[in-house]
């Protein structure tokens, strides 16, 4: 099935708005085994007409976003009717939906909104609970002019996403005849590089069921998703193979962020966490408190950016700093221990390093970091620290160190 996408909207071509529709739709279509053959972005108004006419003639399924508003340059509906050689008619049910939307807002509906209730003769109206613009579905082979299935969707991302999931995906699934058991599993790993992962596993994953399962990878700084598309038995086998190969780097398979996974598992373990951050400057605390419910597990964060702060806030012995330097195993351990004692937490983590671009030496180059950990145990407090190196620049450094630290805590509490 040849799929094309048309994204309409002048703002997408001015540089002020990044077009995320293409990537989002590409991801949604993948579990259906569909690939986008061409994506065309055009400004509002007449260019929409030419784009729709051309695509309708050249593909089997067309998704158009935007241009369903009430103003004169919103011409997606008219352009589609023109391309199909049919008239537009007003839909009674759609009129009532738009009226109800305005009632909810407490504002009167304007006459120009009536235009939004129109659709090409023979098409279906797709409800839009999040905005005034209903969508439109033109079934394939509706008229002799077009064997193409056409979906007209609103431009705002949250309206488009909701309508795709509830109205478009099921219709496409029926058209491509995907078996009921077919689905997608995404497994998140952190701390193992995409290329090492592929070298170790790609061949084995692609051998499952003679290659019937589709295997994909999506890498982000410090983490990657393994994407498996196939039957539930194929996906289970692939997932178990990957997790058993890299048990220490496994995060989750529910799409939650690393920090959300950590907050959830800390809460389940009943343990409280304290953080002592130097080089990450609060990034780790900020990521944890991005998660609603973080207050149940995280109470104290010490951002000890200066040496005096390490001494004053965490009782680090200033002689330790003088003799070993602030970026050292000894200071990382003292910071973690200080944070544990001061806060009363069950686990504490410390980071001290050189984010760069300045401050590096031959012994301790830019990117060096010590990660310390202190934990309450039956026999007292256990303290340790390990060195890491992330020399790819300040922004990547902070992200990678925070990622490695969150992962370290997760491993400790599991």
Q: 315: helix, coil or strand?
A: coil
DSSP for 13-66 reads HHTSS---HHHHHHHHHGGGT--EEEEEEE-SSTHHHHHHHHHHHH-SEEEEES
Query: Using CA atoms, how far apart are residues 248 and 239, in angstroms rounded to an integer?
Result: 14
Among 211, 270, 357, 365, binds a copy of itself (CB under 8 A): 357
Distant-in-sequence, close-in-space partners of 118: CB < 8 Å, separation ≥ 6: 77, 88, 89, 90, 91, 94
271 binds a copy of itself (CB under 8 A): no
Half-sphere exposure of 372 (CA within 13 A, CB side): 30
User: Torsion-angle region of residue 250: left (phi > 0), alpha (psi -120 to 50) or beta?
Assistant: beta
Annotate each residue in 304-323 with x if it binds a copy of itself (CB under 8 A) or - if it does not, as one string. xxx-xx--xx----------
Q: Which is nearer to a copy of itself, 13 or 95 (CB)?
A: 13
Stretch that binds a copy of itself, among 64-72, 200-208, 298-306, 376-384 (CB under 8 A): 298-306
Chain positions 375 to 414 lying near a copy of itself, rule: CB under 8 A, are 394-395, 398
| Phi, psi (degrees; rounded to nearest 5) at 154 | -65, 160
286 binds a copy of itself (CB under 8 A): yes
231 binds a copy of itself (CB under 8 A): no
Among 235, 300, 333, 364, binds a copy of itself (CB under 8 A): 300
255 binds a copy of itself (CB under 8 A): no
Instruction: Assess contact for 377 and 397: CB atoms under 8 A.
Output: no
Q: Which is nearer to a copy of itself, 19 or 269 (CB)?
A: 19
28 binds a copy of itself (CB under 8 A): yes
216 binds a copy of itself (CB under 8 A): yes
Among 67, 69, 301, 353, binds a copy of itself (CB under 8 A): 301
Angle between helices 329-343 and 307-314 (to 10 degrees): 40
Q: Which is nearer to a copy of itself, 223 or 237 (CB)?
A: 223
Sign of CA dihedral 273, 278, 280, 285: positive
Chain positions 51 to 80 lying near a copy of itself, rule: CB under 8 A, are 51
Provide the minimum distance between the beta carbon of 187 and a copy of itself in the complex, in angstroms, as a whole number. 15
Q: Which is nearer to a copy of itself, 118 or 280 (CB)?
A: 280
Stretch that binds a copy of itself, among 8-16, 76-84, 95-103, 125-133 (CB under 8 A): 8-16
Among 117, 258, 303, 351, binds a copy of itself (CB under 8 A): 303
Stretch that binds a copy of itself, among 23-31, 88-96, 171-179, 243-251 (CB under 8 A): 23-31
Q: Which is nearer to a copy of itself, 118 or 278 (CB)?
A: 278
Provide the minimum distance between the beta carbon of 312 and a copy of itself in the complex, in angstroms, as a whole number. 7
Q: 111: helix, coil or strand?
A: helix
Query: Using CA atoms, how far apart are residues 150 and 61, in angstroms rounded to an integer?
Result: 6
Among 65, 80, 234, 285, binds a copy of itself (CB under 8 A): 285
Half-sphere exposure of 49 (CA within 13 A, CB side): 9
Peptide bond into 288 cis (omega under 30): no
218 binds a copy of itself (CB under 8 A): yes
| Phi, psi (degrees; rounded to nearest 5) at 125 | -90, 135
Q: Beta strands of 132-207 (E only): which ranges?
A: 135-138, 149-153, 183-190
What's the N-to-C CA distance of the chain in angstroms? 45
* Rg of the Cα atoms in the chain: 28
24 binds a copy of itself (CB under 8 A): yes
Provide the minimum distance between the beta carbon of 146 and a copy of itself in the complex, in angstroms, as a whole number. 20
Contacts with a copy of itself, residue ranges (CB under 8 A): 12-20, 22-28, 30, 35-43, 47, 51, 216, 218, 275, 277, 279-286, 288-290, 292, 294-295, 298-306, 308-309, 312-313, 342-344, 355-358, 394-395, 398
């Amino acid at each position: 099935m040849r799929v094309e996408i048309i994204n309409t909207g002048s703002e997408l071509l001015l540089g002020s708005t990044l077009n995320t529709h293409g990537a989002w739709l590409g991801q949604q279509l993948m579990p259906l085994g569909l690939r986008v053959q061409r994506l065309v972005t055009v400004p509002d108004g007449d260019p929409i007409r030419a784009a729709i006419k051309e695509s309708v003639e050249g593909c089997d399924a067309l998704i158009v976003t935007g241009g369903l508003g009430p103003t004169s340059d919103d011409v997606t509906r008219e352009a589609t009717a023109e391309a199909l050689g049919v008239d537009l008619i007003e839909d009674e049910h759609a009129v009532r939906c738009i009226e109800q939307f305005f009632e909810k807002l407490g504002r009167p509906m304007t006459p120009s909104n009536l235009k939004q209730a129109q659709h090409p003769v023979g098409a279906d109206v797709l409800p839009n609970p999040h905005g005034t613009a209903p969508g439109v579905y033109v079934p394939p082979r509706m008229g002799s002019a077009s064997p193409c299935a056409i979906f007209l969707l609103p431009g705002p991302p949250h309206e488009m996403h909701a309508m795709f999931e509830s109205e478009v995906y099921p219709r496409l699934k029926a058209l491509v005849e995907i078996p009921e058991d077919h689905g997608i599993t995404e497994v998140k790993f952190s701390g193992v590089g995409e290329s090492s992962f592929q070298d170790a596993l790609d061949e084995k994953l692609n051998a499952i069921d003679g290659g019937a399962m589709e295997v994909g990878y999506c890498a982000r700084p410090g983490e990657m998703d393994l994407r498996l598309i196939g039957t539930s038995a194929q996906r289970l086998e692939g997932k178990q193979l990957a997790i058993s190969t890299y048990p220490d780097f496994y995060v989750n398979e529910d799409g939650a962020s690393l920090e959300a996974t950590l907050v959830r598992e800390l809460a389940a373990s009943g343990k409280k966490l304290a953080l002592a951050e130097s080089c990450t400057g609060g990034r780790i605390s900020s990521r944890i408190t991005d998660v609603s419910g973080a207050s149940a597990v995280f109470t104290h964060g010490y951002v000890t950016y200066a040496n005096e702060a390490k001494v004053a806030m965490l009782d680090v012995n200033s002689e330790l700093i003088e003799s070993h330097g602030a970026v050292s195993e000894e200071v990382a351990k003292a910071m973690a221990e200080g944070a544990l004692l001061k806060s009363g937490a069950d686990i504490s983590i410390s980071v001290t390093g050189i984010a760069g671009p300045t401050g590096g030496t031959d012994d301790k180059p830019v990117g060096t970091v010590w990660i310390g950990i202190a934990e309450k145990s039956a026999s007292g407090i256990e303290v340790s620290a390990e060195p890491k190196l992330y020399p790819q620049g300040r922004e990547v450094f902070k992200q990678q160190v925070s990622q490695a630290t969150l992962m370290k805590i997760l491993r400790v509490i599991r």
